[in-house]
Each structure stands twice: as structure tokens, then as C-alpha cells.
Amino acid sequence: MNFYRQLGFLVFGSRLRRLSESFLGDVNNIYKAHKIPFDAAWFPVFYILSREEEVSIRKISDQLNISHSAASQMISGLQEKGYIKSTVSKKDARHKVVTFTPKGQKLLQRIQPVWTALQKAMEELSDGEAESQKILVALSQIENKLEEKTLFERIEDHL
């Protein structure tokens, strides 16, 4: 039996990390195989921008549940590559927002078919398996409980 599987929740985080690394590695390999200069780590920002014309860094950080500083770093990296730009908001001149550059818009068009294929491939992984289809619900439940009380706090309660 697989070492990780027999330890259950004791190595839950390690199993999630291994799955994540595997998924992200395969997705990045697809981009590379199709000569698309994109990194899976950029997906959240590209996806948010694909849904809205302009977005503030604060909104990105809130939606991704990351610090403003972390969101700014992601944005800076994409700006350096020429995919997005920072401008004054059309709706409120007091705020800065980010938008796609023409280069970013062109890249978005190239990666959207990969996103569609990725969605289908991920659905295939759970197709026909009742337990596998519940994984997203289970992950949401765990995330909700962690918002109520961190794992650190829970461990401390048992020590």
C-alpha cells in the first residue's frame, strides 16, 4: 500500500501538495508543448482579468485571499512581461487598476482553449466515481472550518 495513503490525515497536506505539484507540472508542460509562454501560477490573475475589464489590486488580493503585497508582486511580474498594465480607473480616478495589454489579450486568447481542455480533463478524473466527485465539496468544507479555527489552533487544543 502507498505510504501516503495509509497515513490518512496525518499527511493530508503532503498529499495535496504532491497532487498540486503534479497537476501544475502537467499544465505547465502543456503550455510548453504548445509553445504558449504562460505559467500556471499566473492563472488566477489572468482569469480574474478575463472576467472584468479592469480590476484593482485590492480586489485581486481579496478574491485570491492573499495579501495586497503578494498580489502586487504577481501584478509586477506580469507587468514586467508586458501582459498587463496599471492605469487610473475609468470609474474612480482615485484608484489604480490593472488591465490587459494587447500582448496580454493575445496570450489570453491562446490559453483559453487550454483552460477548456483542463476543465474537461479534470472532470474525467472524477467521472463515474461518486466519491471523487465529492472532493470539491469536501475541500470547501475543510476550508470553511479552517476559516473558523486554524489547524494551528486545533493542534494546540490537543497538546
Per residue of the chain (159 residues), give pLDDT as tens.
577 777 878 888 888 899 899 999 999 999 999 999 999 999 999 999 999 888 998 899 999 989 989 999 999 999 999 999 988 877 777 878 999 999 999 999 999 999 999 999 988 888 767 777 788 888 889 989 998 999 999 999 999
Q: Is 126 left (phi over 0), alpha (psi -120 to 50) or beta?
A: alpha
In order of start, what are the domains of the chain with their CATH numbers? Answer: 3-127 (1.10.10.10)
Q: How many CA atoms lie within 13 A of 140 on its CB side?
A: 5
Q: Are 86 and 96 in contact (CB under 8 A)?
A: yes
The span from the CA of 35 to the CA of 11, in Å, is 36
Dmax (CA) for the chain in angstroms is: 60
Q: How many angstroms separate the CA atoms of 157 and 83, rounded?
A: 47
Give pLDDT, residue 35.
96
Q: Which three cell numbers mark 114? A: 487550454
Identify whether the C-beta of residue 70 lies closer than 8 Å to the C-beta of residue 135: no
Q: pTM here? A: 0.81
CB 83 within 8 A of CB 49: no
DSSP at 129: -
| Dihedral, 124, 119, 23, 13 alpha carbons, nearest 10 | -90
- Residue in the block written with cell 487544543: 157
The neighbour count for residue 76, using CB atoms within 10 Å, is 13
CB atoms within 10 A of CB 42: 19
Between the CA of residue 50 and those of 23, 32, 71, 99, 118, what are the distances in Å?
Answer: 22, 21, 16, 9, 17
- pLDDT of the residue at 1: 54
Residue 122 confidence (pLDDT): 87
